[in-house]
Structure 1
Amino acid sequence: VGRPIFYGAMITEGIVALIWATVSMFFFYGSPAPGYELIAAAKDTGFFTSAPAVVNIVCNDWLGVLGATLALLGVVAAPITSGDTAFRSARLIIADFLHLEQQSMRRRLYICIPLFAVSIALLLWQIGNPDGFNVIWQYFGWANQTLSVFTLWTLTVYLAQQKKPFVITLVPALFMTVICSTFLFISKQAFNLGEMFSYVMGIAVLVVALIWFFVWYKKHA
Structure 2
Amino acid sequence: MSSKKRAYSKLCEQQFFLEYHYWEMRKMTTFLIGLAILIIGGFLYGSFVERIFKPDDRQTPAVKLEDGVDYVPMSKWKNALINLLNIAGTGPIFGPIQGILFGPVAFLTIPIGCVISGAVHDYLSGMMSLRQDGAQMPGIVHKFLGGKVYQVYNIFLCLLMLLVGAVFTYTPGDLFAGQICGFTDVNVWTWVIYGVILVYYLVATLFPIDKIIGRIYPIFGAILLLSAVGVFFGIFAQGYQLDNIDFSHGIKGIFDVYPYFDGIVGASAPGTKFVPVFFVTVACGITSGFHSTQCTMIGRSVRHEKEGKMTFYGTMILEGLIAMIWAAAAMGLYNSGSTAGATAAVGEVAKGLLGPVGGIIAILGVIVLPITSGDTALRSCRLMIADYIHYDQRKKKNRVILTICMFVPVIAILVFAKLNAEGFNILWRYFAWSNQTIAVFAFAAITVYLMAKKGSAKWVFLVPLVPGSFYMFVISSFILSAKIGFGLSMNVAYIIAAILTAVYAVGVYMLGRKYAAKHTEE
TM-score tier after normalising by the smaller chain length: 0.7 to 0.9
Residue 123 (structure 1) aligns with: 414
Distance 1:107 1:72, change over 3 A: same
Query: Equivalent residue of 1:103, what SS?
Result: coil
Aligned partner of 2:364 in structure 1 is: 73
Matches of 1:202 and 1:63, distance apart in 2: 45
Match of 2:311 in 1: 6
CA shift at 1:216, angstroms? Answer: 5.3
1:27 Cα deviation from its structure 2 partner: 3.2
Go from structure 1 to structure 2 and tell me whether the alpha carbon gap of 1:34 and 1:180 turns closer, same or farther (over 3 Å shift).
Answer: same
Q: After superposition, what is the alpha-carbon deviation per residue over 1:13-72, rounded to whole angstroms, capped at 9, x for unaligned? A: 2221222223323433xx2x2322xx4xxxxxxxxx4x3233233334433332331222
Secondary structure of the residue that 2:392 maps to in structure 1?
A: coil
Q: Distance in 2 between matches of 1:145 and 1:174?
A: 12
Q: Are 1:193 and 2:488 counterparts?
A: yes
Aligned 1:38-53 pairs, distance under 5 A: 39=340, 49=341, 51-53=342-344
Match of 1:62 among 339, 348, 353: 353
Does the Cα contact within 8 Å between 2:481 and 2:487 map onto a contact in 1?
Answer: yes
Deviation at 1:218, TM superposition (A): 7.5
Match of 1:113 in 2: 404
Q: With the length of structure 1 as denominator, give the TM-score of the two structures.
A: 0.79
Q: Distance in 1 between matches of 2:378 and 2:448?
A: 30
Q: Whole-Å Cα distance in 2 between the matches of residues 80 and 138 of structure 1? A: 20
Q: Secondary structure at the match of 2:495?
A: helix
Provide the rounded CA distance (Å) in 1 between the counterparts of 2:406 and 2:509: 40
Tell me the CA shift for residue 133 of structure 1.
Answer: 2.8
C-alpha displacement of 1:112: 1.1
Which shifted more, 19-28 or 65-74? 19-28
SS across alignment from 1:35: coil
| Separation (CA, whole Å) in 2 of partners of 1:134 and 1:75 | 20
Q: Distance in 2 between matches of 1:213 and 1:77?
A: 38
Aligned length: 206
Deviations 1:160-204 (A, max 9, x none): 344531222221111011112222212322222243332332222
CA distance 1:74–1:131, change in 2 (3 Å) = farther
Is residue 171 from structure 1 mapped to residue 476 from structure 2 by the alignment?
no
Q: Structure 1 residues 203, 96: CA separation in 2 closer, same or farther (over 3 Å shift)? A: same
Kindly indicate whether structure 1 or structure 2 has the higher relative contact order, using CA contacts under 8 Å at least 6 residues apart.
2
Contact 1:35/1:58 (8 A) holds in 2: no
Among 381, 384, 391, which residue is 1:90 paired with? Answer: 381
User: 2:27 aligns to what?
Assistant: none
- 2:499 and 2:505 map into 1 onto residues whose CA distance is 10
User: Of residues 430, 433, 436 in structure 2, which corresponds to 1:145?
Assistant: 436
Deviates more, 1:52-61 or 1:95-104: 52-61
Is 182-191 or 157-166 further displaced after alignment? 157-166
Which structure's CA Rg is the greater one?
2
Structure 1 gap ranges (5+): 40-48
Choose between structure 1 and 2: higher helix proportion: 1
3-state secondary structure, aligned to 1:143: helix
- Residue 113 of structure 1 deviates from its aligned partner by 1.5
Q: Tell me the distance in 1 between the aligned counterparts of 2:395 and 2:511.
A: 45
Cα-to-partner distance string for 1:95-123 (whole Å, 9 max, x where unaligned): 11111111223211321112111110111
> Using the alignment, how far apart are the partners of 2:496 and 2:329 within structure 1?
33
Determine the C-alpha separation between the residues in 1 that align with 2:434 and 2:419: 23
- Please report how far the alpha carbon of residue 143 of structure 1 lies from its aligned counterpart in structure 2 after TM superposition: 2.8
> Relative to structure 1, is the Cα distance of residues 11 and 210 closer, same or farther in structure 2, using a 3 angstrom cutoff?
closer
